[in-house]
Protein backbone atom coordinates (compact mmCIF):
# COMPACT_ATOMS: atom_id res chain seq x y z
CA UNK A 1 0.00 0.00 0.00
CA UNK A 2 2.80 2.41 0.97
CA UNK A 3 4.69 1.57 -2.23
CA UNK A 4 1.57 2.40 -4.27
CA UNK A 5 1.16 5.74 -2.50
CA UNK A 6 4.86 6.53 -3.02
CA UNK A 7 4.64 5.68 -6.73
CA UNK A 8 1.52 7.83 -7.09
CA UNK A 9 3.25 10.75 -5.37
CA UNK A 10 6.32 10.35 -7.59
CA UNK A 11 4.13 10.28 -10.69
CA UNK A 12 2.43 13.51 -9.61
CA UNK A 13 5.81 15.19 -9.24
CA UNK A 14 6.94 13.99 -12.67
CA UNK A 15 3.73 15.29 -14.22
CA UNK A 16 4.16 18.59 -12.38
CA UNK A 17 7.76 19.01 -13.57
CA UNK A 18 6.76 18.13 -17.14
CA UNK A 19 3.94 20.69 -16.96
CA UNK A 20 6.35 23.40 -15.76
CA UNK A 21 8.79 22.61 -18.60
CA UNK A 22 5.97 22.75 -21.16
CA UNK A 23 4.70 26.06 -19.78
CA UNK A 24 8.18 27.60 -19.85
CA UNK A 25 8.70 26.33 -23.41
CA UNK A 26 5.37 27.80 -24.51
CA UNK A 27 6.21 31.16 -22.91
CA UNK A 28 9.61 31.13 -24.63
CA UNK A 29 7.99 30.40 -28.00
CA UNK A 30 5.45 33.20 -27.47
CA UNK A 31 8.09 35.73 -26.34
CA UNK A 32 7.01 38.35 -28.89
CA UNK A 33 3.52 38.41 -27.36
CA UNK A 34 4.30 37.65 -23.72
CA UNK A 35 6.97 40.33 -23.18
CA UNK A 36 4.80 43.36 -24.14
CA UNK A 37 1.96 41.94 -22.05
CA UNK A 38 4.18 41.45 -18.98
CA UNK A 39 5.62 44.96 -19.32
CA UNK A 40 2.08 46.32 -19.60
CA UNK A 41 0.93 44.40 -16.52
CA UNK A 42 3.72 45.76 -14.33
CA UNK A 43 3.27 49.30 -15.64
CA UNK A 44 -0.46 49.01 -14.94
CA UNK A 45 0.29 47.83 -11.39
CA UNK A 46 2.42 50.95 -10.86
CA UNK A 47 -0.42 53.10 -12.24
CA UNK A 48 -3.12 51.64 -9.97
CA UNK A 49 -2.32 53.81 -6.87
CA UNK A 50 -2.59 57.17 -8.71
CA UNK A 51 -5.67 55.89 -10.55
CA UNK A 52 -7.31 54.95 -7.24
CA UNK A 53 -6.26 58.29 -5.72
CA UNK A 54 -7.99 60.27 -8.47
CA UNK A 55 -11.18 58.17 -8.61
CA UNK A 56 -11.64 58.33 -4.82
CA UNK A 57 -11.66 62.11 -5.06
CA UNK A 58 -14.57 62.14 -7.44
CA UNK A 59 -12.77 62.16 -10.79
CA UNK A 60 -14.44 59.92 -13.41
CA UNK A 61 -12.48 56.73 -14.02
CA UNK A 62 -12.26 57.35 -17.77
CA UNK A 63 -10.74 60.80 -17.16
CA UNK A 64 -8.27 59.38 -14.61
CA UNK A 65 -7.19 56.72 -17.10
CA UNK A 66 -6.78 59.27 -19.88
CA UNK A 67 -4.60 61.50 -17.67
CA UNK A 68 -2.34 58.59 -16.72
CA UNK A 69 -2.14 57.35 -20.32
CA UNK A 70 -1.38 60.87 -21.59
CA UNK A 71 1.51 61.12 -19.12
CA UNK A 72 2.79 57.70 -20.21
CA UNK A 73 2.63 58.65 -23.89
CA UNK A 74 4.37 61.99 -23.34
CA UNK A 75 7.12 60.51 -21.17
CA UNK A 76 7.71 57.54 -23.48
CA UNK A 77 7.77 59.80 -26.57
CA UNK A 78 10.29 62.16 -24.97
CA UNK A 79 12.37 59.15 -23.92
CA UNK A 80 12.32 57.70 -27.44
CA UNK A 81 13.36 61.04 -28.96
CA UNK A 82 16.17 61.58 -26.45
CA UNK A 83 17.52 58.03 -26.61
CA UNK A 84 17.26 57.91 -30.40
CA UNK A 85 19.19 61.16 -30.81
CA UNK A 86 21.87 60.17 -28.28
CA UNK A 87 22.30 56.72 -29.80
CA UNK A 88 22.67 58.14 -33.32
CA UNK A 89 25.37 60.55 -32.16
CA UNK A 90 27.17 57.87 -30.15
CA UNK A 91 27.03 55.41 -33.06
CA UNK A 92 28.56 57.98 -35.42
CA UNK A 93 31.51 58.50 -33.07
CA UNK A 94 31.84 54.83 -32.08
CA UNK A 95 34.55 53.90 -34.67
CA UNK A 96 36.75 56.75 -33.44
CA UNK A 97 36.18 55.72 -29.81
CA UNK A 98 37.10 52.11 -30.64
CA UNK A 99 40.30 53.18 -32.41
CA UNK A 100 41.44 55.45 -29.58
CA UNK A 101 40.57 52.84 -26.96
CA UNK A 102 42.73 50.25 -28.73
CA UNK A 103 45.58 52.76 -28.85
CA UNK A 104 45.26 53.34 -25.10
CA UNK A 105 45.00 49.64 -24.29
CA UNK A 106 48.17 48.60 -26.18
CA UNK A 107 50.12 50.90 -23.87
CA UNK A 108 49.75 48.10 -21.33
CA UNK A 109 51.92 45.74 -23.43
CA UNK A 110 55.27 47.08 -22.07
CA UNK A 111 53.90 46.62 -18.55
CA UNK A 112 53.29 42.92 -19.21
CA UNK A 113 56.78 42.64 -20.73
CA UNK A 114 58.33 44.18 -17.61
CA UNK A 115 56.46 41.61 -15.52
CA UNK A 116 58.05 38.80 -17.53
CA UNK A 117 54.98 38.05 -19.63
CA UNK A 118 56.04 38.24 -23.30
CA UNK A 119 53.12 39.37 -25.42
CA UNK A 120 52.79 41.18 -28.75
CA UNK A 121 50.28 43.89 -29.57
CA UNK A 122 48.35 41.54 -31.85
CA UNK A 123 48.19 38.85 -29.17
CA UNK A 124 47.06 41.41 -26.61
CA UNK A 125 44.24 42.73 -28.81
CA UNK A 126 43.17 39.18 -29.67
CA UNK A 127 42.59 38.24 -26.03
CA UNK A 128 41.79 41.67 -24.60
CA UNK A 129 40.03 44.06 -26.95
CA UNK A 130 38.19 46.86 -25.13
CA UNK A 131 37.12 48.22 -28.49
CA UNK A 132 34.85 45.19 -28.80
CA UNK A 133 33.26 46.20 -25.49
CA UNK A 134 32.49 49.63 -26.92
CA UNK A 135 30.95 47.98 -29.98
CA UNK A 136 28.85 45.78 -27.69
CA UNK A 137 27.71 48.90 -25.82
CA UNK A 138 26.64 50.48 -29.11
CA UNK A 139 24.65 47.39 -30.10
CA UNK A 140 23.02 47.27 -26.66
CA UNK A 141 21.98 50.91 -26.93
CA UNK A 142 20.55 50.26 -30.39
CA UNK A 143 18.48 47.39 -28.95
CA UNK A 144 17.32 49.72 -26.17
CA UNK A 145 16.15 52.21 -28.76
CA UNK A 146 14.19 49.50 -30.56
CA UNK A 147 12.60 48.41 -27.28
CA UNK A 148 11.49 51.96 -26.50
CA UNK A 149 10.10 52.37 -30.01
CA UNK A 150 7.80 49.39 -29.41
CA UNK A 151 6.76 50.89 -26.08
CA UNK A 152 3.69 52.49 -27.66
CA UNK A 153 2.25 48.99 -28.14
CA UNK A 154 2.69 48.43 -24.42
CA UNK A 155 0.88 51.70 -23.68
CA UNK A 156 -2.21 50.51 -25.56
CA UNK A 157 -2.25 47.29 -23.53
CA UNK A 158 -1.94 49.37 -20.34
CA UNK A 159 -5.03 51.35 -21.37
CA UNK A 160 -7.17 48.23 -21.63
CA UNK A 161 -5.78 46.80 -18.39
CA UNK A 162 -6.63 49.99 -16.50
CA UNK A 163 -10.11 49.98 -18.02
CA UNK A 164 -10.58 46.45 -16.64
CA UNK A 165 -9.28 47.38 -13.18
CA UNK A 166 -12.63 48.68 -11.89
CA UNK A 167 -14.51 45.44 -12.64
CA UNK A 168 -11.64 43.04 -11.92
CA UNK A 169 -12.48 42.70 -8.22
CA UNK A 170 -16.06 41.59 -8.92
CA UNK A 171 -14.88 39.17 -11.62
CA UNK A 172 -12.41 37.53 -9.25
CA UNK A 173 -14.98 37.36 -6.47
CA UNK A 174 -17.40 35.35 -8.61
CA UNK A 175 -14.95 33.46 -10.82
CA UNK A 176 -12.60 31.98 -8.22
CA UNK A 177 -13.45 29.49 -5.48
CA UNK A 178 -13.62 31.14 -2.04
CA UNK A 179 -14.07 34.44 -3.82
CA UNK A 180 -13.48 36.79 -0.88
CA UNK A 181 -10.37 34.94 0.26
CA UNK A 182 -8.99 34.78 -3.29
CA UNK A 183 -9.68 38.48 -3.76
CA UNK A 184 -7.88 39.28 -0.50
CA UNK A 185 -4.86 37.23 -1.56
CA UNK A 186 -4.81 38.83 -5.01
CA UNK A 187 -4.96 42.31 -3.47
CA UNK A 188 -2.08 41.44 -1.15
CA UNK A 189 -0.07 40.12 -4.08
CA UNK A 190 -0.67 43.30 -6.11
CA UNK A 191 0.28 45.39 -3.07
CA UNK A 192 3.59 43.55 -2.59
CA UNK A 193 4.56 43.76 -6.26
CA UNK A 194 3.49 47.41 -6.46
CA UNK A 195 5.55 48.27 -3.37
CA UNK A 196 8.63 46.68 -4.90
CA UNK A 197 8.15 48.32 -8.29
CA UNK A 198 7.51 51.80 -6.87
CA UNK A 199 10.50 51.66 -4.51
CA UNK A 200 12.78 50.16 -7.16
CA UNK A 201 11.70 52.73 -9.75
CA UNK A 202 12.32 55.59 -7.32
CA UNK A 203 15.75 54.25 -6.32
CA UNK A 204 16.66 53.71 -9.99
CA UNK A 205 15.68 57.27 -10.93
CA UNK A 206 17.78 58.68 -8.08
CA UNK A 207 20.69 56.46 -9.15
CA UNK A 208 20.42 57.72 -12.72
CA UNK A 209 20.32 61.36 -11.60
CA UNK A 210 23.39 60.90 -9.38
CA UNK A 211 25.33 59.21 -12.21
CA UNK A 212 24.32 61.99 -14.62
CA UNK A 213 25.39 64.69 -12.13
CA UNK A 214 28.73 62.96 -11.43
CA UNK A 215 29.61 62.45 -15.10
CA UNK A 216 28.51 65.99 -15.98
CA UNK A 217 30.73 67.37 -13.22
CA UNK A 218 33.71 65.41 -14.63
CA UNK A 219 32.90 66.44 -18.22
CA UNK A 220 32.23 62.96 -19.64
CA UNK A 221 30.42 62.88 -22.99
CA UNK A 222 26.82 61.58 -23.13
CA UNK A 223 26.39 61.97 -19.36
CA UNK A 224 22.58 62.02 -19.64
CA UNK A 225 22.60 58.82 -21.70
CA UNK A 226 24.79 57.00 -19.17
CA UNK A 227 22.52 58.25 -16.39
CA UNK A 228 19.53 56.74 -18.18
CA UNK A 229 21.42 53.48 -18.72
CA UNK A 230 22.32 53.39 -15.00
CA UNK A 231 18.66 53.93 -14.05
CA UNK A 232 17.44 51.15 -16.34
CA UNK A 233 20.20 48.69 -15.49
CA UNK A 234 19.53 49.18 -11.78
CA UNK A 235 16.46 46.97 -12.27
CA UNK A 236 18.77 44.07 -13.13
CA UNK A 237 19.99 42.52 -9.85
CA UNK A 238 23.63 41.80 -9.02
CA UNK A 239 25.21 42.60 -12.39
CA UNK A 240 23.14 45.51 -13.70
CA UNK A 241 25.13 48.26 -11.99
CA UNK A 242 28.43 46.73 -13.16
CA UNK A 243 27.26 46.51 -16.77
CA UNK A 244 25.99 50.11 -16.65
CA UNK A 245 29.40 51.41 -15.57
CA UNK A 246 31.48 49.69 -18.28
CA UNK A 247 30.73 51.92 -21.31
CA UNK A 248 31.04 55.15 -19.32
CA UNK A 249 34.39 54.09 -17.83
CA UNK A 250 35.76 52.99 -21.22
CA UNK A 251 34.60 56.24 -22.81
CA UNK A 252 36.35 58.21 -20.06
CA UNK A 253 39.60 56.33 -20.79
CA UNK A 254 39.41 57.56 -24.38
CA UNK A 255 38.18 61.07 -23.64
CA UNK A 256 39.93 62.08 -20.40
CA UNK A 257 42.48 59.38 -19.62
CA UNK A 258 42.86 56.37 -17.32
CA UNK A 259 43.12 58.35 -14.06
CA UNK A 260 39.83 60.12 -14.70
CA UNK A 261 38.34 56.73 -15.61
CA UNK A 262 39.29 55.49 -12.13
CA UNK A 263 37.53 58.51 -10.63
CA UNK A 264 34.43 57.73 -12.70
CA UNK A 265 34.53 54.10 -11.57
CA UNK A 266 34.91 55.19 -7.94
CA UNK A 267 31.85 57.40 -8.35
CA UNK A 268 29.80 54.48 -9.69
CA UNK A 269 30.92 52.32 -6.75
CA UNK A 270 30.05 55.02 -4.21
CA UNK A 271 26.63 55.69 -5.74
CA UNK A 272 25.69 52.02 -5.87
CA UNK A 273 26.93 51.40 -2.32
CA UNK A 274 24.83 54.32 -1.12
CA UNK A 275 21.70 53.32 -3.00
CA UNK A 276 22.00 49.54 -2.81
CA UNK A 277 23.28 49.12 0.76
CA UNK A 278 21.82 52.15 2.54
CA UNK A 279 18.68 53.62 0.98
CA UNK A 280 17.14 50.61 -0.78
CA UNK A 281 17.19 48.24 2.23
CA UNK A 282 15.81 51.04 4.41
CA UNK A 283 12.75 51.53 2.21
CA UNK A 284 12.40 47.93 1.04
CA UNK A 285 11.94 46.71 4.62
CA UNK A 286 12.56 42.97 4.77
CA UNK A 287 13.98 43.01 1.28
CA UNK A 288 12.88 40.93 -1.67
CA UNK A 289 12.18 37.78 0.32
CA UNK A 290 14.44 35.85 -2.09
CA UNK A 291 17.80 34.22 -1.46
CA UNK A 292 20.80 35.70 -3.35
CA UNK A 293 21.24 32.41 -5.25
CA UNK A 294 17.61 32.46 -6.40
CA UNK A 295 17.97 36.10 -7.46
CA UNK A 296 20.95 35.21 -9.66
CA UNK A 297 19.33 32.06 -11.08
CA UNK A 298 16.11 33.93 -11.81
CA UNK A 299 18.15 36.52 -13.69
CA UNK A 300 19.58 33.75 -15.88
CA UNK A 301 16.23 31.97 -16.38
CA UNK A 302 14.08 34.98 -17.25
CA UNK A 303 16.90 36.53 -19.27
CA UNK A 304 17.14 33.35 -21.35
CA UNK A 305 13.38 33.26 -21.84
CA UNK A 306 12.60 36.92 -22.55
CA UNK A 307 15.96 38.56 -23.27
CA UNK A 308 16.67 42.02 -21.83
CA UNK A 309 13.05 42.50 -20.77
CA UNK A 310 13.23 39.24 -18.80
CA UNK A 311 16.34 40.48 -16.98
CA UNK A 312 14.55 43.71 -16.04
CA UNK A 313 11.50 41.80 -14.79
CA UNK A 314 13.33 38.85 -13.22
CA UNK A 315 12.70 39.92 -9.62
CA UNK A 316 8.97 40.77 -9.98
CA UNK A 317 8.35 37.56 -11.93
CA UNK A 318 10.13 35.45 -9.31
CA UNK A 319 8.23 37.25 -6.55
CA UNK A 320 4.99 36.29 -8.30
CA UNK A 321 6.07 32.64 -8.40
CA UNK A 322 7.05 32.71 -4.71
CA UNK A 323 3.78 34.34 -3.64
CA UNK A 324 1.79 31.81 -5.67
CA UNK A 325 3.72 28.93 -4.07
CA UNK A 326 3.03 30.33 -0.60
CA UNK A 327 -0.71 30.21 -1.20
CA UNK A 328 -0.83 26.38 -1.44
CA UNK A 329 0.06 24.13 1.50
CA UNK A 330 1.52 21.48 -0.83
CA UNK A 331 3.99 23.94 -2.43
CA UNK A 332 4.73 26.19 0.54
CA UNK A 333 7.97 24.33 1.22
CA UNK A 334 9.26 25.38 -2.21
CA UNK A 335 8.53 29.02 -1.35
CA UNK A 336 10.50 28.57 1.88
CA UNK A 337 13.45 27.05 -0.01
CA UNK A 338 13.69 29.95 -2.47
CA UNK A 339 13.07 32.53 0.24
CA UNK A 340 15.62 34.52 2.20
CA UNK A 341 17.09 33.87 5.63
CA UNK A 342 14.78 36.54 7.02
CA UNK A 343 11.81 34.39 6.05
CA UNK A 344 13.19 31.60 8.26
CA UNK A 345 13.67 34.05 11.12
CA UNK A 346 10.08 35.23 10.71
CA UNK A 347 8.79 31.64 10.71
CA UNK A 348 10.76 30.89 13.87
CA UNK A 349 9.32 33.95 15.57
CA UNK A 350 5.79 33.03 14.52
CA UNK A 351 6.23 29.46 15.82
CA UNK A 352 7.33 30.61 19.27
CA UNK A 353 4.55 30.88 21.89
CA UNK A 354 3.71 34.48 22.67
CA UNK A 355 3.93 35.55 26.28
CA UNK A 356 0.54 36.48 27.66
CA UNK A 357 0.10 39.52 29.83
CA UNK A 358 -0.44 38.63 33.50
CA UNK A 359 -3.96 39.19 34.78
CA UNK A 360 -4.50 42.53 36.43
Quick check: 26 pLDDT over 60?
yes
Cα-atom radius of gyration of the chain, to the nearest Å? 25
> Residue 128 region, left (φ>0) first, then alpha (ψ -120 to 50), else beta?
beta
d(CA 319, CA 326): 11
What is the arithmetic mean of pLDDT over 211-221?
A: 93
Question: Can you give the pLDDT at residue 321?
Answer: 84
| CB contact at 8 A, 316 and 298 | no
Average pLDDT of the chain, as a whole number: 77
Return the higher-pLDDT residue of 150 and 287.
150
Question: Can you give the pLDDT at residue 267?
Answer: 93
DSSP assignment letter at 328: S
Range picked from 42-56, 76-90, 318-332, 334-348 for highest mean pLDDT: 42-56
DSSP assignments along 173-224, one per residue: HHHSSSHHHHHHHHHHHHHHHHHHHHHHHHHHHHHHHHHHHHHHHHT-TTHH
Amino acid sequence: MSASVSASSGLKWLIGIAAVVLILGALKAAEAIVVPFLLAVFIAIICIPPLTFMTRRGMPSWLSIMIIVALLVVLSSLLVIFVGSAIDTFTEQLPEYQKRLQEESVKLVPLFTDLGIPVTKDQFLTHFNPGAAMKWAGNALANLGGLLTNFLVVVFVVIFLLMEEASLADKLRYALPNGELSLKRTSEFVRQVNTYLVIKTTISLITGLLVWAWLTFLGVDFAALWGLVAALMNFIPNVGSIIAAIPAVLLTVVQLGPYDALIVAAGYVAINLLMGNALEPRFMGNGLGLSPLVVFLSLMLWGWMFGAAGMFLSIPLTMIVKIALERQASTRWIAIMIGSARDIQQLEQDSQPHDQDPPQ
